[in-house]
């Protein structure tokens, strides 16, 4: 066991992936001498050399497009996109090429490329630095999308993403990069595509992922004081979604709230609500409720606290759910 | 795999840079031509050494390749007209650009084509009918790209240029004696991915040859809309050589490509080749060129036809009717075989679409497949093919 921040747990996960497989490469903007704008790759270029920790030209489509070519030669590139809002120049390469190459070649060519994207708000930053675009990628078949919420998962899910034979996007909760936690470097525990029940409860289930997991846990804590027992699930994988774990919980509690920073319209919460209503309709005591961002561009830093779901927003949804 | 090392050329990037610096960037560069429109061989101090190995037999081989792919293209166009293919992008007019360059490649080189590189496919040894599977709606690929080092066709313009550069970055890491070749057109040259691929290739000094077929028309839009300067001149902005070659001169294309491959293979970095050619037919079978270009322009380019030019040369040098008759007969046999193969191509089972979405097992795909099976089983006693569409 070691105590690490999420950022350093990712660094350790990347270091281990680089050490274990000479075909693993890191690529991205400023990831070498600087160690990335969040220092996640700090020290790795020094340790593994410039051919394996590559400072790429400043072009996101170029990073993903060349990673695909490297993957075709047997490499396992791990690409860093500097910020969530800067992934869009690479959207074409990710959705039309990376996601589809396995299907387009009838399974003859796979593209085990990892795309790491720091995402989400709450850091008081300028525009395009606080977005949560996961639903845009979840809609594309061929991609896998995961998001760790704690240091242990960050360490292991990074390595599990590298080991996957499919392209994996890892959305990293940037405002939690400095959140410390225990990391068991011997035992992974869950695979990357399973959800985790973090807190058991009987009255309602709250599903959250990434940066909102600590918020959901705090909301459950507060609800407990009011006499309500809330189960909290860390979704961990956004595509695929572990519906067995979510459904089992809802069958027990009868109520479900899904919380994410991304806008609710067309989001992951809507997908979970639809699937759970199909799988556990007769168990539901109330409509599935969503807590999330509004249908607007991510707001400026001075007002972002009103946009971001917090403990009260989750408790308000819980009250509405329990009132049915 | 050892590359065949060629005589070193006197021609260096410095010369090109000096030439460019001394002139208006919009000026047309010298166009390399080794076989003129009358079929007469021309001497070029820089590139003729790279065509010296082309004896009469080799030239007949290039003619045969060009003839066969033109005949194949004609058959594919006919198959589309007869409803056997959804669409077909003809290569008519670009045979020299594709055969000349393709025949310069080594087996270990890797080609990233657009969707019109039927001639390059022939040189890589692909079964030609496999090119038609995509257009018959049977698969989005059609062949195993690793077998002949020929990637599947890419329809999102220029996306493959970045894959080619990434592949070349892999070649560098593996220290292999191979070159990655990115084919694209004058229209695609405007795509950001071409820019990024040239930036990455130059930055890494990767072994890539960018082979741009300037066929003058991006569907209905002429090259002037894409670029105010000759496309080959763009290379100097990235810091590597750019060469314009007569794309209808198979000898020149072959020589220039050999030079470029040697340059890239020997660690000197990327090269851009602009093959100056003409799309003599439509963009695809869904297109109507009479709406946007003059028939006089087409007639003018027919005078520069790549096949008749080489035929003139061969006949002048003593190749007789027997050869041309044999090639024509081979073309007919090939076309019949392709036709038979296409007519026998059946669509896949829909279930196969589930199987290749992911490389590793995926619960949602498995769930949807199970649902679909059950749904289909409900119709076991009913013939409902095509119903309700």
pLDDT at res. B2: 39
Band (B29; pLDDT cuts 50, 70, 90): confident
Domains of chain A, residue spans: 2-183, 196-323
Catalytic residues of B: 279, 283, 292
CB atoms within 10 A of CB A37: 16
pLDDT at res. B7: 46
B182 in Cβ contact with B161 (< 8 Å):
yes
Nearest CA distance, B133 vs chain A (angstrom): 12
CATH code of domain A2-183: 3.40.50.970
Domain count, chain B: 2
Average pLDDT, chain A: 98
A205 in Cβ contact with A230 (< 8 Å):
yes
Query: Is the complex ipTM higher than 0.85?
Result: yes
CB contact (8 A) between residue B170 and residue A102: no
pLDDT at res. B382: 77
Kindly state whether residues B246 and B365 are assigned to the same domain: no
- Judged against a pLDDT cut of 70, whether residue B4 lies above it is answered with no
Residue of A28, A62, A246 to mutate for B, most B C-beta atoms under 10 A: A62
Catalytic residues of A: 129
- Residue B237 makes CB contacts below 8 A (sequence gap 6+) with none
Q: With a CB-CB cutoff of 8 Å, which residues 241-280 of chain A face chain B?
A: 241-243
CB atoms within 10 A of CB A265: 13
Of B80, B93, B182, B188, which Cα lies nearest the Cα of B131? B80
A289-293/A256-263 β-pairing: parallel
Q: Determine the Cα–Cα distance for residues A119 and B128; give it in Å rounded to an integer.
A: 47
Kindly state whether residues B375 and B309 are assigned to the same domain: no
A24 inside 8 A of chain B by CB: no
Kindly state whether residues B364 and B259 are assigned to the same domain: no
DSSP string, A248-288: HHHHHHS-EEEEEEEESTTSHHHHHHHHHHHHSGGG-SS--
Give the H/E segment covering residue B357: none
Write out pLDDT tens, residues B146-171: 999 999 999 999 999 999 999 999 99
CB contact (8 A) between residue A142 and residue B358: yes
Among the partner-chain residues B152, B164, B358, the one whose CB lies closest to the CB of A105 is: B152
CB contact (8 A) between residue B166 and residue A66: yes
CB contact (8 A) between residue B165 and residue A109: no
Write out pLDDT tens, residues A27-53: 999 999 999 999 999 999 999 999 999
Kindly state whether residues B284 and B364 are assigned to the same domain: no
With H, G, I as helix, E, B as strand and everything else as coil, classify residue A24: strand
Domain containing residue B114: CATH number? 3.40.50.970
With H, G, I as helix, E, B as strand and everything else as coil, classify residue B51: helix
Spell out where A174-322 has E strands.
180-183, 196-199, 204-208, 230-234, 237-239, 256-263, 289-293
Residues in A closer than 8 angstroms to B358, CB to CB, are: 102, 142, 144, 166
Any domain includes B154 = yes
Kindly state whether residues B166 and B237 are assigned to the same domain: yes
Kindly state whether residues B277 and B382 are assigned to the same domain: no
Average pLDDT, chain B: 93
Kindly state whether residues B360 and B280 are assigned to the same domain: no
Any domain includes B281 = yes
A109 inside 8 A of chain B by CB: yes
Q: Chain B residue with minimal CA distance to A91?
A: B159
**Residue range of the domain that includes B378:** 349-389
CATH code of domain A196-323: 3.40.50.920
pLDDT at res. B1: 36
Kindly state whether residues B383 and B260 are assigned to the same domain: no
DSSP state at residue A111: -
With H, G, I as helix, E, B as strand and everything else as coil, classify residue A168: strand
Of B279, B210, B293, B219, which Cα lies nearest the Cα of B247? B279
Greatest alpha-carbon span in chain A: 60
CB contact (8 A) between residue A103 and residue B174: no
B148 inside 8 A of chain A by CB: no
Write out pLDDT tens, residues B337-382: 999 999 999 999 999 999 999 999 999 999 999 999 999 999 987 7
Of A51, A76, A6, which Cα lies nearest the Cα of B206? A51
Q: Chain A residue with minimal CA distance to B144?
A: A108
Kindly state whether residues B325 and B354 are assigned to the same domain: no
Write out pLDDT tens, residues A60-83: 999 999 999 999 999 999 999 999
Residues in A closer than 8 angstroms to B169, CB to CB, are: 66, 69-70
Kindly state whether residues B214 and B359 are assigned to the same domain: no
A166 in Cβ contact with A140 (< 8 Å):
no
Write out pLDDT tens, residues B73-83: 999 999 999 99
**Rounded mean pLDDT, A125-149:** 98
Q: Chain B residue with minimal CA distance to A57?
A: B200
Q: From the CA atom positions of chain A, what is the Rg in Å? A: 19
B72 in Cβ contact with B118 (< 8 Å):
yes
**Rounded mean pLDDT, B22-50:** 88
Residues in A closer than 8 angstroms to B364, CB to CB, are: 239-241
**Rounded mean pLDDT, A134-149:** 98
Band (B3; pLDDT cuts 50, 70, 90): very low
Q: With a CB-CB cutoff of 8 Å, which residues 202-231 of chain B face chain A?
A: 203
- Judged against a pLDDT cut of 50, whether residue A130 lies above it is answered with yes
B123 inside 8 A of chain A by CB: no
Band (B30; pLDDT cuts 50, 70, 90): confident
B293 inside 8 A of chain A by CB: no
């Amino acid at each position: 066991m070691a105590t690490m921040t999420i950022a350093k747990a990712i660094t350790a996960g990347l270091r281990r992936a680089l050490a274990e497989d000479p075909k693993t490469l890191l690529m991205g903007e400023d990831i070498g001498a600087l160690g990335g704008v969040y220092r996640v790759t700090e020290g790795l270029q020094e340790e593994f050399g410039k051919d394996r920790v590559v400072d790429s030209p400043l072009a996101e489509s170029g990073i993903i497009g060349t990673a695909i070519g490297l993957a075709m030669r047997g490499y396992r590139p791990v690409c860093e996109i500097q910020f969530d809002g800067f992934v869009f120049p690479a959207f074409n390469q990710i959705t039309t090429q990376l996601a589809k190459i396995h299907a387009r070649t009838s399974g003859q060519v796979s593209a085990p490329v990892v795309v790491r994207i720091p995402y989400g708000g709450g850091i008081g930053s300028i525009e395009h630095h606080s977005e949560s675009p996961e639903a845009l990628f979840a809609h594309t078949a061929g991609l896998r999308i995961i998001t760790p919420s704690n240091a242990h998962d960050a360490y292991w899910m990074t390595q599990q993403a590298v080991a996957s034979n499919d392209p994996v996007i890892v959305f990293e909760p940037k405002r939690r990069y400095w959140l410390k936690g225990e990391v068991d470097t011997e035992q992974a525990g869950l695979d990357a595509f399973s959800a985790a029940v973090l807190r058991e409860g009987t009255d309602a289930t709250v599903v959250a992922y990434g940066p909102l997991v600590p918020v959901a846990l705090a909301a459950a804590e507060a609800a407990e004081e009011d006499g309500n027992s809330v189960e909290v699930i860390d979704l961990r994988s956004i595509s695929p979604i572990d519906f067995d774990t979510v459904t089992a919980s809802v069958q027990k509690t009868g109520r479900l709230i899904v919380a994410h920073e991304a806008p609710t319209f067309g989001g992951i919460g809507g997908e979970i609500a639809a699937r759970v209503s199909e799988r556990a309709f007769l168990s539901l005591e109330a409509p599935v409720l969503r807590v999330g961002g509004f249908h607007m561009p991510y707001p400026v830093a001075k007002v972002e606290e009103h946009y971001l779901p917090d403990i009260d927003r989750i408790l308000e949804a819980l009250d509405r759910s329990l009132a049915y | 795999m050892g590359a065949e090392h060629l005589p070193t050329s006197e021609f260096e990037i410095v010369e090109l840079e000096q030439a460019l610096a001394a002139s208006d960037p919009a000026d047309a560069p010298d166009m390399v031509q080794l076989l003129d429109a009358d079929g007469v061989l021309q001497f070029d101090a820089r590139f003729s050494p790279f065509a010296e190995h082309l004896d009469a037999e080799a030239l007949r081989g290039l003619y045969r390749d060009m003839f066969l792919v033109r005949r194949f293209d004609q058959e594919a166009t006919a198959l589309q007209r007869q409803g056997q293919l959804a669409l077909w992008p003809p290569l008519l007019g670009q045979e020299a650009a594709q055969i000349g360059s393709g025949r310069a490649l080594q087996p270990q080189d890797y080609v990233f084509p657009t969707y019109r590189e039927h001639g390059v496919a022939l040189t890589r040894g692909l079964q030609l009918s496999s090119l038609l599977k995509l257009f018959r709606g049977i698969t989005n690929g059609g062949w195993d790209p690793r077998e002949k080092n020929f990637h599947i066709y890419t329809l999102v313009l220029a996306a493959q240029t970045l894959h080619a550069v990434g592949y070349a970055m892999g070649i560098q890491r593996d220290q292999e004696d191979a070159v990655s070749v990115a084919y694209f057109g004058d229209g695609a040259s405007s795509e950001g991915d071409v820019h990024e691929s040239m930036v990455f290739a130059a930055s890494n000094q990767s072994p890539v040859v960018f082979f741009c077929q300037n066929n003058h028309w991006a569907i209905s839009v002429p090259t002037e809309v894409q670029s105010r300067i000759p496309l080959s001149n763009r290379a100097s902005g990235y810091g590597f050589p750019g060469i314009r070659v007569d794309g209808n001169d198979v000898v020149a294309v072959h020589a220039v490509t050999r030079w470029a491959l040697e340059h890239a293979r020997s660690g000197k970095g990327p090269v851009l080749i602009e093959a100056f050619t003409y799309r003599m037919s439509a963009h695809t079978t869904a297109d109507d060129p009479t709406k946007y270009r003059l028939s006089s322009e087409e007639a003018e380019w027919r005078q520069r036809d790549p096949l008749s030019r080489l035929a003139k040369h061969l006949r002048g040098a003593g190749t007789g009717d027997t050869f041309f008759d044999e090639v024509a007969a081979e073309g007919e046999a090939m076309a019949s075989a392709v036709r038979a193969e296409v007519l026998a191509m059946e669509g896949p089972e829909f279930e196969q679409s589930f199987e290749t979405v992911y490389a590793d097992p995926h619960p949602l795909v498995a769930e949807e497949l199970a649902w679909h099976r059950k749904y289909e089983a409900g119709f076991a006693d009913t013939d409902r093919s095509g119903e309700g569409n």
